[in-house]
Amino acid sequence: MDVKLFDSELKVMGVLWREGDCTAKYISDVLKEETGWNMNTTYTVIKKCIKKGAVERREPNFMCHALVPKEEVQEAETQELINKIYDGSADKLFAALLSRKKLSAEQIEHLKKLVNDLE
């Protein structure tokens, strides 16, 4: 799957990643709570995910199975961000992240550890 996922589709994927395989009905119930979508809307989005190859439909009961793991999507999004906004340089993104004062102490620790590992 190499087509980008939109926010609405990521919502559906989110449910699948959290809960594992579930029925479409279940997803629509959850999302009704979270986003206010009605059943038709959720089903439309699920079908789009299927078309993009992110979700697989299994019978019986319209079971949905995530074909794409969360990490893969994260990686793809990050790469796109780097390419688009940071001139393809991961370092620049990193520097930017560091300069953001909003990083918590925890996050800074985590980053330092990363740097350590990569070295």
Partner 1 sequence: MSIWSMSVSGGILILIILILRGLFQNRLPRQTFLALWAVVLFRLLIPVSVPADCSVYHLLGTFRMERVEEQWSRVFRQNAESGNYRPEKTVAKDAGSGEVTEEGQTGVSDHFLVWKEIWKTVYLWGVFFCVLSYLFLSLKCYREFRISLPVKHVWIQKWVQHVPMRRNIQVRQMERITTPMTYGVFHPVILLPKNMDLEDTEQLQFVLTHEAVHIRRLDVVKKMFLAAAVCIYWFHPLVWIMYVLANRDLELACDEGVIRQFGQDSRAAYAYALISLAERKNSRIPLGSGFSKNAMEERIVAIMKKKKITIGAAAAAIVLVIAVTVFFATSAPQRDIQREDTMVLESQDSKVSADQEITQEAVKEEPQEMNHRALESDDGTAAWEEEIQKIYQEIYHSQEFSDYEKFGLSYDEKNGYLLYKNEMVGYFKDEMSPGLYRRFTDEKGKIALVVSRDAKWNMTGFQEKSMEEVLGQNGQTAENITGVTGTDRNGAVAFASSDASVSASEDVSAAASENGNFIIEFPDEYAEYGVTWDGKYHGKQIIFLYDKNHSVIANGGSGVSEAEGVYLQVRRDSKGKITSLEEVTKEEMQKILDAEKTGLEI
CB of 84 to partner 1, least distance (A): 12
- Applying the rule CB under 8 A, the residues between 36 and 95 that interact with partner 1 are 36-38, 41, 44-45
For residues 40 and 32, what is the distance between their CA atoms, to the nearest angstrom? Answer: 11
Figure out which of the listed residues 18, 19, 21, 35 binds partner 1, where binding follows CB under 8 A. Answer: 35
d(CA 67, CA 77): 17
The correct pick among 3, 6, 88, 110 for binding partner 1 (CB under 8 A) is 6
- β-strand partners of 66: 55
11 makes contact with partner 1 (CB under 8 A): yes
Torsion of CA 26, 51, 85, 91, to 10 degrees: 80
Residues that bind partner 1 (CB under 8 A): 6-8, 11, 34-38, 41, 44-45
